[in-house]
């Protein structure tokens, strides 16, 4: 088999929203771990909402919240993170930079503690143990630049601070290559001259979300590899969970 000789630029792997919670299938996380341990990207970025935290859902009806437990949510996240990272950590002399940009679902924990001070010191997003797992944790909505490319759970525009609604508006807003998660759909827009792009990187879970319609649930499920990363440009490649199931399970 032909071995890679020389890497052109850096490789960044992006893992979109996983929405891990008790009772959902997380088998794909070990497929991703196997794939990444073989491809060995320089950076692995998890774009936020790795955790779903349904016990803290303030939008849900009381009947839907029945039986939800914070501790169960947190434990399911620990287990899922372990299955993602186990194959990667097993590779000798491979130490990718792990970066996790916190999502609104993780933010739920700190928001509850802030809104109800009685929980201060007992509930915290630190309970998810991302940092202990090796991730550099970037606060919710704080963009981080890696090799000239911006990453954030989502980007906002306008005076109202609303999330941008398309890859084209993301590109216009940031004026550089920028990647976000948060929404279910995948969107990609290249700038004609600079080669910069805006990317909505889709979703990375096997389960269906009840709040989405049948059509909403037919969205792309994937990770995204950025190859030839250099000075804020890159070559994106989509790797579907179905491909990973067939080749890396």
By rule CB under 5 A, what count of residues binds Fe ion?
4
- Decide if residue 57 touches Fe ion (CB under 5 A): no
Residue among 154, 157, 159 nearest 141 (CA): 154
Phi, psi dihedrals of residue 185, rounded to the nearest 5°:
-90, 160
Chosen residue from 33, 103, 202, 236 binding Fe ion by CB under 5 A: 103
* Binding window for Fe ion (CB under 5 A); candidates: 48-56, 135-143, 208-216, 238-246: 48-56
Interacting span for Fe ion (CB under 5 A) from 33-41, 99-107, 170-178, 188-196: 99-107
Alpha-helical regions (H) of 99-156: 104-115
CB nearer to Fe ion: pick between 47 and 88: 47
- Specify the residue, 53 or 229, whose C-beta has the smaller distance to Fe ion: 53
108 binds Fe ion (CB under 5 A): no
Q: How remote is the C-alpha of 14 from its chain's centroid?
A: 7
The whole-angstrom separation of Cα 99 and Cα 12 is: 10
Distance, in Å, from the CA atom of 84 to the CA atom of 40, rounded to the nearest integer, reads: 14
Query: Tokens at residue 101, please?
Result: 């940009």
Q: Crossing angle for the helix pair 241-248 and 27-39, nearest 10 degrees? A: 80
Report, in Å, the least distance between residue 173 CB and Fe ion. 18
- List the interface residues with Fe ion, window 156-185 (CB under 5 A): 182
Work out whether 49 is an interface residue with Fe ion (CB under 5 A). yes
| Residue ranges in contact with Fe ion by CB under 5 A | 49, 103-104, 182
């Amino acid at each position: 088999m032909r071995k890679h000789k020389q890497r052109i630029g850096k490789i960044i792997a992006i893992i979109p929203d996983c929405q891990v919670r008790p009772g959902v299938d997380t088998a794909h996380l070990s497929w991703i771990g196997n794939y990444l341990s073989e491809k060995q990207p320089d950076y692995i970025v998890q774009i936020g909402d790795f955790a779903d935290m349904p016990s803290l859902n303030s939008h849900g009806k009381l009947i839907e919240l029945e039986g939800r437990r914070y501790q169960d949510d947190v434990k399911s996240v620990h287990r899922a993170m372990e299955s993602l990272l186990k194959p990667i950590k097993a590779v000798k002399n491979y130490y990718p930079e792990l970066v996790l940009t916190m999502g609104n679902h993780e933010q739920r924990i700190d928001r509850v503690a802030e809104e109800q001070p009685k929980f201060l010191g007992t509930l915290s997003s630190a309970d998810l143990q991302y940092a202990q797992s090796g991730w550099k944790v970037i606060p919710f909505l704080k963009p981080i630049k890696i090799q000239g490319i911006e990453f954030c759970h989502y980007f906002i525009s306008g005076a109202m601070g609303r999330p941008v609604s398309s890859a084209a508006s993301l590109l216009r807003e940031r004026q550089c290559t920028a990647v976000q998660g948060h929404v279910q759909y995948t969107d990609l827009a290249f700038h004609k001259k600079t080669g910069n792009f805006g990317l909505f990187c889709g979703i990375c879970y096997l389960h269906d979300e009840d709040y989405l319609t049948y059509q909403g649930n037919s969205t792309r499920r994937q990770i995204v590899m950025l190859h030839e990363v250099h000075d804020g440009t890159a070559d994106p490649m989509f790797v579907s969970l179905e491909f990973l199931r067939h080749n890396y399970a």
